Amino acid sequence: MRYHYIFYYHILYIILVQTILNISNFTISQRPLQKSPSTDSRNPKTGFRLFPSPNTS
């Protein structure tokens, strides 16, 4: 009879851990992606372009 309780606790533990992992994976996957800087973005302090414009001449 005692072993049944151990089995039930083990099953509940597995369910709990799986639930926590699923919730954490869901919240991580719902984070918005970081926007990449546009090719025309400048540093407002220095005026430096992150990606220089291609020379078309």
**In the chain, what are the domain boundaries?**
1-27
The answer to whether residues 22 and 31 touch, using CB atoms and an 8 Å cutoff, is no
Q: What is the pLDDT along the chain (57 residues), one digit of tens a residue?
A: 677 888 899 999 999 999 888 877 776 666 666 666 555 555 556 666 666 666 665
Angle at 50 (CA atoms; ends 44, 55), nearest 5 degrees: 120
Calpha distance 11→30 (Å, rounded): 29
Q: What is the pTM of this model?
A: 0.41
37 Cβ partners below 8 Å, 6+ apart?
Answer: 50, 51
Contact status, residue 49 vs residue 41, Cβ threshold 8 Å: yes
